[in-house]
Amino acid sequence: MKGILSCFSMLFLFISCNNTEEKVILENSKKGKIVYDMYEPSEMANLMNQMYAYNEGVKKTIIAGEDIEGFPLDFLKIHSAELSDFKKRNQTFESFSKLFIEAERELYNPESDLSETDRFNNVVNLCISCHQTECTGPIPRIRKLLIK
Ligand code: HEC
């Protein structure tokens, strides 16, 4: 329930999952206090934004018919990066991060039977699947990564 609430408030704050700080800022500004911008994205939020930017590049490369580079090892940080305060690593998160990393590895497997486009879309669909359980806010943005 808490998760659902945070994701709702997130919709009209930043399009992110990190709304704890913003809530404090809102409450303080209502009380007429001077508010400094204390928003500091978590390690995980930074990683997510990096993964987004990286995959935008991969999408362009695939569409252009050029060769994609090797598996981006930085993505393995998904297993250890610190989440925002209000979020906890749980079983669901762990299983989805494993599936996601497997899909990423498959994308860079030249022996795969699937086309590069299908493998890339599998990766993006796993981003979306995990977000459906954790945080729905960024989903419309993530969907734009899919290759039609
Ligand atoms: C295993 C689950 C999981 C997977 C897989 C996953 N995400 Fe996330 N994502 C999260 C969680 C949890 C957060 C919130 C992180 C936080 O606030 O600490 C998040 C946050 C985000 C954010 C918002 C970051 C911000 O500024 O607050 C974006 C954008 C995002 N993810 C994009 C992606 C993309 C693109 C992929 C795939 C390449 C992806 N995610 C894969 C769980 C996941």
Which one-letter amino acid corresponds to residue 85?
Answer: D
Residue 121's pLDDT is what?
Answer: 98
The span from the CA of 108 to the CA of 119, in Å, is 9
Check: CB of residue 144 under 8 Å from CB of residue 21: no
**Closest by CA position to 89, among listed 44, 124, 22, 128:** 44
Q: Residues 131-135: what's their mean pLDDT?
A: 90
Q: Is the CB of 51 under 6 A from ligand 1?
A: yes
Residue 88's pLDDT is what?
Answer: 80
Position 2 in a domain: no
- Into how many domains does the chain fold? 1
Position 80 in a domain: yes
Tens digit of each residue's pLDDT (9 = 90 or more) over 24-51: 555 655 666 655 566 789 999 999 999 9
Residue 87's pLDDT is what?
Answer: 75
Is pTM beyond 0.75? Reply is yes
Q: Residues 65-73: what's their mean pLDDT?
A: 96
By CB atoms closer than 10 A (0-12, 13-18, 19+), residue 50 is middle
* Cα 37 to ligand 1 centre (Å): 22
State the residue range of the domain holding 82.
Answer: 42-143
The span from the CA of 6 to the CA of 29, in Å, is 19
* Cα 62 to ligand 1 centre (Å): 22
Position 31 in a domain: no
Check: CB of residue 5 under 8 Å from CB of residue 135: no
Position 136 in a domain: yes
Torsion of the alpha carbons at 124, 129, 130 and 133, rounded to the nearest 10: 150
CA atoms within 13 A on the CB side of 43: 10
Position 76 in a domain: yes
Position 48 in a domain: yes
**For residue 112, how many other CB atoms are within 10 A of its CB?**
13
Position 37 in a domain: no
Q: Which of 59, 131, 139, 147 to mutate to test the pocket of ligand 1 (most atoms within 8 A of CB)?
A: 131
- The mean pLDDT of the chain is 84
Given a cut of 50, whether residue 79 has pLDDT beyond it is: yes
Position 87 in a domain: yes
Residue 11's pLDDT is what?
Answer: 42
Check: CB of residue 36 under 8 Å from CB of residue 102: no
Q: Which has more confidence, 135 or 27?
A: 135
